[in-house]
Amino acid sequence: MLEQSSSPLLEVSHLARHFPVRGFLNRRVATLRALDDVSFTMTEGEVLGIVGETGSGKSTLGKTLMGIHRPTGGEVRLGGEQIASPSQKRAALVRARLQYVYQDPGASLDPRWTLRRSLHEPLVIHTNWSHAQREAKVREIAAAVDLPPTHLDLYPHEISGGQLRRAGLARILVLNPQLIILDEPTAGLDVSVQAAILALLRELKREFNLTYILISHDLAVVRSFSARVAVMYLGRIVEIGPTAEVFAAPRHPYTRSLLAAAPRIGGPRVTESFLLLGEPPDPLQLPWGCRFRTRCCLAMPECAGLAVQLEYEARHGVACPRWRQWDIRNQGTPPSPGTSVPFG
């Protein structure tokens, strides 16, 4: 899968994570295939957005990359070095190079510690620096996230929510991570606060040359923030490519309906024409072959028998053998971006 000429920072190949579902007497009654055969690469300084519905495996992907879950299959390489595979125990050094930002980064601060102590802690664990060295680093990072130095002596409850978020991000940045996984950084926030967070993340990316994986269900945020986007459905990547291309001309039927469902100010009412019915199937009893075929308008009987792989055309990959049929079906008129696609 050669997408970029420069050597990739992150290589994920055939990554899988299954969770056993246990019943009576701890017997294994089923397997939840939260993540199946996920492969992609990322270059340094890139922002990859990952979108999908609840239960599509977005967070499982983030947590498996992070090492919170051990993969069931496949491997992850960071800078050429293998960091996760089913048999591997992760070294502390790797954990410092990869950081995970939860929905509310401020909540990861200990309420009984001053901000200074919270910011020192990662350095105490991962380095053998002297106190003075650590203090210098902490001050540098605090200045970068616009946290006044006087705030370092305060406790989390004494500062505002916006500053808490900055402090939480500072705690992640003191270790100079290469790759940051942002898990729904704007979920549940008002648009004006959301704009402030995105601006801060953008600024930090420029300053520290960071690489982001942005996990979000908010298509507008992903569209404005990330250069490349991967769409997940039930544990698999169904489409991956440059954001502008995917949003302008989505290929996979699921991506098409996902984009058609997102309301757009100034556009037509999608609720009047949107017709993708039903909900995703039970993740314990996934359909064979393509997992979207139970809701897909292009589905054919043979979709059940196919091992659907991502097929690349330049940098745009799609896991649907029949996506070209769409235009024929719709009298050769490709759906323009933002307009809703009649489905059914």
Q: Number of residues in contact with another protein, rule: CB under 8 A?
A: 43
Nearer to another protein, 102 or 274 (CB): 274
Judged by beta carbon, residue 258 or residue 299, the one nearer another protein is 258
CB-based contacts of 165, cutoff 8 Å, min separation 6: 104, 105, 106, 197, 200
Instruction: Using the minimum distance from each CB to another protein, give the nearer residue, 83 or 298.
Output: 298
We find the least distance from the C-beta atom of residue 274 to another protein, in angstroms, to be 5
73/337 with CB nearer another protein: 337
Residue ranges in 177-216 that form contacts with another protein under rule CB under 8 A: 188, 190-196, 198-199, 202
Burial of 89 (0-12, 13-18, 19+ CB in 10 A): exposed
Written as one letter, the residue type at 174 is: V
CA distance 257 to 52: 11
Give min distance, CB of 271 to another protein, in A: 3
Query: Of 119 and 231, which CB lies nearer to another protein in the complex structure?
Result: 231
Q: Tell me the HSE value of 218 on the side-chain side, using a 13 A CA sphere.
A: 18
Q: Distance (Å, rounded) from C-alpha 11 to C-alpha 43? A: 9
Contact set for another protein, span 251-290 (CB under 8 A): 257-258, 260-266, 269-272, 274, 276-277, 279
Instruction: Give the footprint of another protein on residues 39-98 (CB under 8 A).
Output: 53-54
Between residue 218 and residue 237, which ones bind another protein under the rule CB under 8 A?
218-221, 223-225
Would you say 193 or 306 has its CB closer to another protein?
A: 193
Please state the length of the chain: 344
Give min distance, CB of 213 to another protein, in A.
18
What strands lie across the sheet with 10-22, from one edge to the other? 28-42, 10-22, 73-78, 81-84
Contact residue for another protein among 247, 292, 323, 326 (CB under 8 A): 247
Task: Return the SS3 of 332.
Answer: coil
Binding segment for another protein among 93-101, 119-127, 243-251, 315-323 (CB under 8 A)? 243-251
**Is the separation of the CB atoms in 121 and 131 below 8 Å?**
no
Residues 284-323 as x/- pattern, contact with another protein by CB under 8 A: ----------------------------------------
Alpha helices in the chain (DSSP H): 58-66, 92-97, 115-126, 131-144, 161-173, 191-208, 219-225, 243-248, 253-261, 325-329
Inter-residue contact 279 to 294 (CB < 8 Å): no
CA angle 211, 14, 33 (to 5 degrees): 105
What residues form DSSP beta bridges with 317? Answer: 240, 312
Residues between 149 and 168 with contacts to another protein, criterion CB under 8 A: 160, 162
Residues 142/152, Cβ–Cβ less than 8 Å: yes
Tokens 């729904």 belong to which residue? 184
Find the binding residues for another protein in span 90-149 (CB under 8 A). Answer: none
Least Å from the CB of residue 160 to another protein? 7
- What is the rounded distance in angstroms from the CA atom of residue 143 to the CA atom of residue 204? 11
Query: Is 94 or 159 the residue whose CB approaches another protein more closely?
Result: 159
Give whichever of 41 and 60 is closer to another protein, judged by the CB atom.
60
- Pick between residue 71 and residue 280 the one whose CB is nearest to another protein: 280
Give the binding site for another protein (CB under 8 A).
Answer: 53-54, 160, 162, 188, 190-196, 198-199, 202, 217-221, 223-225, 243-244, 247, 257-258, 260-266, 269-272, 274, 276-277, 279
